[in-house]
Amino acid sequence: MNENFYITTAIDYVNGKAHIGHAFEKILTDVIYRHFKQRFDKTMFLTGTDEHGIKIQKTAKSLNILPIELCNQNVESFKNSWKLLDINYDKFIRTTSDEHKKIVQKIFEKLLKQGDIYKHSYKGLYCSGCECFLNEKDLENGLCPTHLKKPEIVEEENYFFKLTKYKDAIINHIKNNPSFIIPSFRANEVLNQLENIEDISVSRSINNVNWGIPVLSDSSQIIYVWIDALSNYITALGYDPDKEEQNETFKTFWPATCQVIGKDILKFHSIYWIALLMALNLPLPKHILAHGWITIDETKMSKSLGNVLSPENILNSFKLETPDAFRYYISSCANCGKDGNYSDIDFKEKVNADLANNMGNLLNRSLNILIKYFDGEIKDEFIVENEIIKIAKNTINKVIENFDKFQVAEATFEIMTLLNVANKYINDQAPWSLAKNGNLKEAGIVLYNVLEVMRYVSVLIYPYCPNIASNIAKQLKTNINIKLCDLGKNNLKAGKIITKEEIIPVFLRLDSEFAQNKK
C-alpha cells in the first residue's frame, strides 16, 4: 500500500511531569501509529512539548530558576516517560527550538501583512490555566469550568486574529465532512461554540509576559500562545510560509491524517487551528480525534487531591518489566472519544484475564502439547486449515475497520473474541486426548490451527503490546514485522519450531496479594 500517514499528539505543558492522562494520549496515538505502520509505507508520528507561557514563567520564578532551565528538566522527564512506555515517535518538537520559533515569527508576520492579524485594545477575563481569554458566559459561578479558578482581568493592547472571517468556512467544513471530528457527537458541540466566536487575542504585552516568542516587527509584544503551540504540527515538518514550494517532508506528510488531542482542547484544534490553516492557505487535517479524560478510581486527577499517578508509579508498583500490560489496559479502557478510568483492581483483573489467561496460557498450553507429542515439530500433514482460520482472517478485517474509525479499544474486543474462539476450539477438540488415543494427525491439525491463530494474534496485538507480541512471534519462529495485507497470505511452515527450553510464558499473572498490599 502506498499511502502516507501522519499522526500528531497534543504537545504537553512542561510545568509538571507526565501523568497517566498524558500517557493515555501518547499510548493511544502510538497504538494507532503502529497499526497504520502495518498498512502504510510512509508514516510519521510527531509529539513534543509546549514550553512558553505565563505558567512556566511563574513556576520558574517560584523555583528561582530560568524558564528554559525548568523546561529542560521537565522535557527530559517527559521523554523518559515516553521511552519507558515504548512510545515510538519519529520526531519530538520543542516550542523553544530555534527552528520552531523562527517559523512562528514568519507565520505571524505573514498573517499581519495580509490583514488576518490586527492590533486592538482589549480588556477581558484571562484564564492562565487555559492560556486564553474567556467570556462571562463561559464561566461557572465566576470560575473557569476546566480549571476551577477565577480568571484575572487583563487590559492590554494586543494583536488579534480575525477568527470571525473563517466562521462560515469552518461550519461548512464540519458539516460536509462528518468524520472530520471524531467522535462525531463532539461536532455539534463545536458547531455551537462557533455560533458565538469572536476574534482572538494572539499576543501579550512584554511587560506582562516575557516567556514567549517575540513579534518580529513589534518588540513590545510576545506571540501568545496558541499560534505558537498549534503551529508545531507544521513547523516540525519544515514548513516555511515564505517559500512558494515546500520541502519534501512537508509535501509527503501534510495534511495530517489524524491529530489526537483531549476533549478539553478540541475548540482550539477544530476552530482556531483550522482558521489558521485556512489563512495560510494550507489543506486541513483529515481527522481530529478528541479523546476523553482518564480519572483515577472515578475521581478527577488533581494536585490538591494528591491522586496524580504517573506511568512510572504504575509500572513500578506492579513490578512490570515492560509497559505492555499498561499500554493494553489504558488503550482499551475508554471507547472511542469516551472518558476512561484507571483503578489498580480493574487493571489487574483485565490484564490477567486477557493477556495472561486468554492469550499467554493458550500459547503455552499449545506449545507444550506440541513438545510432548511431536517434539516441537509441525508436520506437513498437520497443515489443514480449519474454520477457525477463516475467523482469524475475518478478524484482520474487523480490526482494520475499527482502526479506520480510530476505535482503538473496540479493536481489542475483536482480538479477544478470536482468542475466546481459539480457547473454546482447543478445549472442545482436546488434542491431548486425541494424541493419547493415537489420533496423532488430528491432534496435530488442532495444534497447527491454534498456533496459526496465535500467529495472527501476535501481529494484531503488536500495536498494543509490542514486547509480548515479539515474544510470541519468537516462539513461533515467525516474523512480527509483516504488513497486515500479507498476514493471511502466509502460514506457519512445516518443521521443528520450538524446544522445551525455548518455551517461556509471554505474560505472568499480576501478583494479586502484592497489588492489594500496595495501598
58-62 long-range Cβ contacts below 8 angstroms, 24+ apart: 58/128, 59/15, 60/211
- Phi/psi at 390 (5° precision): -60, -40
CA distance linking residue 469 with residue 459, whole number of Å:
7
CB 28 within 8 A of CB 328: no
Q: How many C-beta neighbours within 10 Å does residue 489 have? A: 8
The one catalytic residue in 71, 101, 127, 291 is 127
CA distance linking residue 409 with residue 406, whole number of Å:
9
The one catalytic residue in 55, 106, 130, 258 is 130
Of the candidates 40, 122, 250, 293, which one interacts with ligand ME8 according to CB under 6 A?
293
* Helix 466-476 × helix 440-461 angle, to 10°: 150
CA distance linking residue 395 with residue 460, whole number of Å:
9
22 in contact with ligand ME8 (CB under 6 A):
yes
State the residue for C-alpha cell 490484564.
351
7 in contact with ligand ME8 (CB under 6 A):
no
Closest to ligand ME8 by CB, 84 vs 369, is 84
Of the candidates 302, 9, 298, the one whose C-alpha atom is nearest the C-alpha of residue 147 is 302
CA distance linking residue 436 with residue 446, whole number of Å:
14
For this structure, is 303 an active site residue? yes
Of the candidates 261, 363, 453, 510, which one interacts with ligand ME8 according to CB under 6 A?
261
Q: Cβ of residue 506: shortest distance to ligand ME8, in angstroms? A: 29
Of the candidates 265, 271, 274, 450, which one interacts with ligand ME8 according to CB under 6 A?
265
For this structure, is 147 an active site residue? yes
24 in contact with ligand ME8 (CB under 6 A):
yes
Residues in 186-245 at the binding interface with ligand ME8, rule: CB under 6 A: 229-230, 232
Stretch that binds ligand ME8, among 184-192, 260-268, 474-482, 486-494 (CB under 6 A): 260-268
DSSP-derived secondary structure letter, 264? G
Stretch that binds ligand ME8, among 262-270, 363-371, 388-396, 485-493 (CB under 6 A): 262-270
The one catalytic residue in 144, 258, 333, 465 is 144
Of the candidates 21, 124, 323, 376, which one interacts with ligand ME8 according to CB under 6 A?
21
Dihedral over Cα of 487, 493, 498, 502: its sign: negative
The residue count for binding ligand ME8 (CB under 6 A) is 19
The one catalytic residue in 123, 137, 303, 489 is 303
Of the candidates 5, 6, 10, 190, which one interacts with ligand ME8 according to CB under 6 A?
10
CA distance linking residue 265 with residue 100, whole number of Å:
21
Of the candidates 301, 383, 482, 494, which one interacts with ligand ME8 according to CB under 6 A?
301
Amino acid, single-letter form, for residue 184: S
| Residues acting as catalytic residues | 19, 22, 127, 130, 144, 147, 300, 303
Contacts with ligand ME8 by CB under 6 A lie at: 10-13, 21-22, 24-25, 50, 229-230, 232, 261-262, 264-265, 293-294, 301
